[in-house]
Structures are given as C-alpha cells and as structure tokens.
Amino acid sequence: MNRRLFLRNGSLAGLALTTLGATACTTETTNQLPTAANNTAAPEAFELQEATINDLQAKMANGQHTARSLTELYLKRIKAIDQAGPKLNSVIEINPDALTIADALDKERKAGKVRGPLHGIPVLVKDNIDTGDKQQTTAGSLALAGHKAAQDAFIIKRLREAGAVLLGKTNLSEWANFRSTRSTSGWSSRGGQTKNPYILDRTPSGSSAGSGAAVSANLCAVAIGTETDGSIVSPSSCCGLVGIKPTVGLLSRSGIIPISATQDTAGPMTRTVRDAAILLGALTGEDAADAVTKESAGKIQPDYTVFLKADGLKGKRLGVEKRHLEGVSGAIPLFKQAIGLLKAQGATIVEVEIDKPADALGEAEYDVLLYEFKDGVNKYLATANASVKTLADVMAFNTQNKPKAMPFFQQEILEASQKLEGLGSPKYQAALRKSHLGAQKILNDAISTNKLDAIVGITTGPARVIDLINGDAGGGPGSSSPAAMAGYPHITVPMGAVNGLPVGVSFVGGVYTEGPLLTVAYAYEQASKKRIVPEFKPPFVG
C-alpha cells in the first residue's frame, strides 16, 4: 500500500475520522453505532467550562476552589459525559490516587508552597505513557491488560514535579494506530471506541483520540498525547484544540510505548495556546535514558509563555502550502480566510510546495516505522511487567483472542513489522536516510530560500463518520508528514468549522523553533478566536 495514501487514510495520523459507542475501562466493546435515540439530553452547564490553567490557578489562589474540589468536579464531569450522557468513552481509566494527590498539593499550597502554574491542575495522560502507580499502561491493547509500569515515564516525573494532578489515562487508537492498514481511529480492544464531542458518530481522530475528545469536552484542564505522524495534531484539529508536536528530542520518550525512535514524541493538547505553552515547558528536560534529548541542551526554554505576543505576526514571512489552496475540501475556504487574517495582522505570504516532494518519501517513512516498531516494542516489553514479552507474543495473543482483540480489523502492520530484520539492515538505513534527511532538506530549503518564519497549511480535513467495516477513509489535505519525518515542530490551532466539525491550521518550523512558532500561533489565535465549544450533537438519522 502506498505510504502517503496510508497516512491520509488515517492508519497513523487518524485522518479519516470516525466513531462509535463503547464502555471505558472494561474489556467489553460495544459494536453498535450510536444513534439519536440512545443518547441523552445535552449535559448540564459545567462550572469549569473552558477554564484555562490561569483561571484555575486564580480560583485556587482566592480560595474559591482547591486542587481537590477541582479534581472532584472533573471526575464528576467524566462520570456525566464520558460514562453517561453522550458517552464519549475518552477516559480508559481513572487514577484511584487522584484525590490523594490533590490533597497533598493543597497542603503544600496552604503551607505557602506553590510549585508553579501546574500546581493542582488536573491532567489526563494517553494510555501508552508509563505511570508508576495503580494505573495500567496498555496502548489500548488487551494483550497488555493488567500491565502496571514499575516507574513513571520521564515526562510523568516532570509532570508530578510540576504539581499536576494525574486524573487518569485516555483511550487511543490501539498501538497508537500502528496495528492494521484498515483500522478505525479512536478504537482499541481494551477501551472500545471514542466519540467526537461535536457530532457523536464522528471520530475524534487518532491516535491520541481520548486526549483530544477529553480536553475538548472539558473533562480535564489539559492532556498529553503522543505522535509519530499526525497523532497529536490530527485529533487536535478534529476536536477544536491547540496541539503541539515538538521537535523530536525536546521531550523524553523513555517510558512511552514506542513506534519510532526517530519520529516519536509526546506533546500538549489544550484549548488555548497559552495552556499548551505552559504544559510544554513543564515536560521538557534532558533524560539520560533517551539520548536524543541531549541535543536539546541549551535549546530548552524555561518558560515558553514569554513567546506569546498578540502582535507576533507583524513582519513575519509565512510559506503557504499551495496544494492546500486547490481542490474541493470544505477546509479550503476556511484556510483562505485564515491566510487573509494572517496578512491583515502584518504577515507576508509566500506560496511554497512541500507536499509534492514529501510524497516521494512516503514509502521510505513506512519502512522506517516498520523496522523501528519491532525493535522498540521488543525492547520495551523485555523489561515491562506485562505477560507478553515480544511483538510475536502480542500477535499470538491477538490471534488466540480474536473475537475480543480483533473483532473489526486485523494486525497486518504487526505482521509486516515482525518479518523484518534488525536496525542493521541496509534497507532500513537507506529508508531512514531518504525519509528523515529528505524531509529535513525539503523543509530547510523552503525555509531558508524564502526566509520563512513558518510554513502554514491545513492540519487535516473535518472528522469523518465511523466505519468499523471499512476502516478510516481519506480526509483531504493534511500537514503532518513532512514535520513528522524531519522531527521538526508542528503546532495546530483551531481555524473554524465545516458543518459543525472543527478544522485546524498548522504552523511548522525548523528544528527547536517551538518559541517562534508559538509567537505566530498565539497571534493568530488571539486575532481569530475560532475555538468552538462542542455540543455533543447526535448523529443524523434519516
């Protein structure tokens, strides 16, 4: 299968957008699509609706709320929205220690100690990130059900140090959407299907489906997702969020179930650029267990909010992907409006061509991911507390438990990865040079030749209807792959909606340019204000 088509069909980026109902935190999946008849009335008004990190800090500072009361409100919201009502099914597991953590942080605040802007803030984390507590880490796979990590992932340690309350784990496309060429985004054998909070038969996209749906539906303050190619920015776009896919190496990947050593990264998923900047700063740091983070030395910013300037578009040169100005996608008119706003705010627009040369790298990228997945998963499982110890064990479990593990789609990608040699293979080395260095050259050349501050494009098309029989379908133009292959930063910001479904605009830059990209993204956000609160609309029933 052509890799570029594979990506646009959503097998990694989740670009073909679909959804159905399921029950979280169980091994049972609901195989019935939701209808208007099986959804309750719209949820009641929520006291913390659209509350930012600064809003919540102000409420704790003036005594209106505590970390415990905020945590209780979000837990009540999860029960009302995720487990009942619309049944978004975005949270795969609640942290049983959440209130205990909140109480300890309240004691610190009472004693005059506030760790920083995340002190007492409830955060949800994608279920492929280790938490050394009572919660499981499963990548949504029944093969890993019951697996509890021995210690926190590095970024979770950083999150705890910052004073965040770990509220729970979010559902995801199983194995971060690297299991089948016919997968449905947002579905996992452990967690079932996550719904899009805007229209309930639409996907939130993937693979960070649960993080996207949960933040959008105000089930938490902010969340963490992970991306190999599109898995932060695509669900952020489809759920009306800000998402940051950082430079590979800015955040540690140790303790995260891997796909690719050269493309994987975690990143923030939030409702505002400011919240994304705050969360990004808290997660950074060099980690001896992840050698790539050594490259971030001297490049990490202690506070990314200093880059947030409302007039930040003045004098900027932005390269617009010209392919995104053509065709019939419903996102194109919104994109043209966004370009007009960028110009009105003082930016100079230059048309560039990134997608076409990047298309030629697609097959090489897929090969890289297949090789690196087998290597990385085998290394992770070898030292994990899971009952499966190799990729071959995972495949065998899925086959033996097919009715529950593979009721809709199979494991073609796992099988293809298992057949490959190690990372010493000449084919792997050639593919890595072609995709990784090739994408860097494409982006570097466009940026340097045109003296660009960022490259701008449509993040992905609007969310599609769930189709568990055929899997994800094409989602129109998208911006994830060049930055993903290069390991460069990518920020998406809401730019409006197509028939009630959000679409994001992407800002891509060179290596470690998160700060300047945040300047551009924040200025656009402040001038446009395109974030829309979801209404949990039922599917259309003819």
Task: Convert 234-284 into a string of H (helix), E (strand) and C (coil).
Answer: HHHHHCCCEEEECCECCECCCCECCCCCCCCEEEEEECCHHHHHHHHHHHC
Known active-site residue 207? yes
Known active-site residue 231? yes
Which phi and psi (to 5°) does residue 439 adopt?
-65, -40
Task: Give tens-digit pLDDT for 17-36.
Answer: 222 222 222 222 333 333 33
Note whether 193 and 321 are within 8 A (CB).
Answer: no
Q: For position 25, what pLDDT does the model report?
A: 29
- Average the pLDDT over 440-447 and give the result: 98
Q: Which of 9, 39, 26 is nearest to 200 (CA)?
A: 39
Q: Which of 428, 495, 488 is nearest to 460 (CA)?
A: 495
Which phi and psi (to 5°) does residue 60 adopt?
-75, -35
Domain ranges of the chain: 3-22+49-308+455-528
Burial 380-419 (b: 16+ CB within 10 A, else e): bbeebebebeebeebbebbeeeeeebbebbbbebbeebbe
Task: Give tens-digit pLDDT for 316-356.
Answer: 999 999 999 998 788 999 999 999 999 999 999 999 999 99
- Average the pLDDT over 24-50 and give the result: 53
pLDDT band for position 5 (cuts 50, 70, 90): very low
- Average the pLDDT over 249-268 and give the result: 98
Which of 7 and 324 is assigned the larger pLDDT? 324
Burial 92-110 (b: 16+ CB within 10 A, else e): bbbbeebeebbeebbeebe
Selected catalytic residue, list 90, 141, 207, 252: 207
Q: Return all residues near 160 (Cβ < 8 A) that are at least 6 apart.
A: 152, 166
Selected catalytic residue, list 59, 87, 126, 195: 126
Other beta carbons within 10 Å of 518: 30
Q: For position 353, what pLDDT does the model report?
A: 97
Q: For position 151, what pLDDT does the model report?
A: 98
Spatial strand order of the sheet with 165-170 comes to 91-94, 165-170, 122-126, 222-227, 265-270, 242-245, 490-498, 501-508, 454-458, 317-321, 348-352
pLDDT band for position 474 (cuts 50, 70, 90): low
- Average the pLDDT over 272-300 and give the result: 98
Query: Per the structure block, which two tokens stand in for 95?
Result: 């942290």
Sign of torsion, CA 309 312 318 323? positive
Selected catalytic residue, list 231, 237, 417, 528: 231
Q: For position 473, what pLDDT does the model report?
A: 75
Per CATH, the number for 3-22+49-308+455-528 is 3.90.1300.10
> Quick one: how far is CA 274 from the chain centroid?
17
Burial 213-232 (b: 16+ CB within 10 A, else e): bbbbbbbbbbbbbbbbbbbb
